[in-house]
């Protein structure tokens, strides 16, 4: 399964692929990214990720831990998108697009 994330005002695009090893583990590959997400790749592509552990607790998530060490903006949508990708690849969620829409009052 593949995702494309258009991160917003920074203008960056991130693409990633998840391939399940079994019903619990996923290999994550980030194929296009900004220089900040590039720093996360060594951690996230180091071997199969335990999808159940990733979804268990946001404070203990390897993805959010790597993001906290590498990303300059807390509002970057990439960590959430990577979680959704893993979740959908493992069949734990339906792969449905997510949108944030801004409207001025």
> 44 is written with which tokens?
């996230």
- Number of independent structural domains in the chain: 1
Q: Which CATH number characterizes residue 61's domain?
A: 3.90.1010
Q: Are 42 and 75 in contact (CB under 8 A)?
A: no
Domain extent, residue 48, equals 2-89
What size, in residues, is the chain? 105
**Is 98 among the domain residues?**
no
- The 10s digit of each residue's pLDDT in 67-104 is 999 999 999 999 999 999 999 999 999 999 999 899 99
**Is 61 among the domain residues?**
yes
**Is 103 among the domain residues?**
no
- The 10s digit of each residue's pLDDT in 6-34 is 988 899 999 999 999 999 999 999 999 99
**Is 102 among the domain residues?**
no
**Is 96 among the domain residues?**
no
**Is 6 among the domain residues?**
yes
């Amino acid at each position: 399964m593949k995702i494309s994330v258009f991160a917003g005002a920074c203008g960056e695009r991130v693409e990633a692929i998840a391939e399940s090893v079994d019903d619990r583990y996923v290999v994550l590959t980030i194929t296009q990214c900004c220089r900040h997400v590039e720093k996360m790749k060594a951690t996230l592509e180091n071997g199969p990720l335990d999808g159940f552990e990733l979804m268990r607790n946001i404070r203990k998530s390897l993805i959010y831990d790597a993001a906290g060490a590498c990303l300059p903006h807390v509002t970057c949508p990439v960590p959430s998108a990577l979680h959704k990708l893993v979740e959908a690849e493992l069949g734990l969620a339906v792969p449905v697009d997510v949108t944030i829409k801004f409207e001025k009052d």
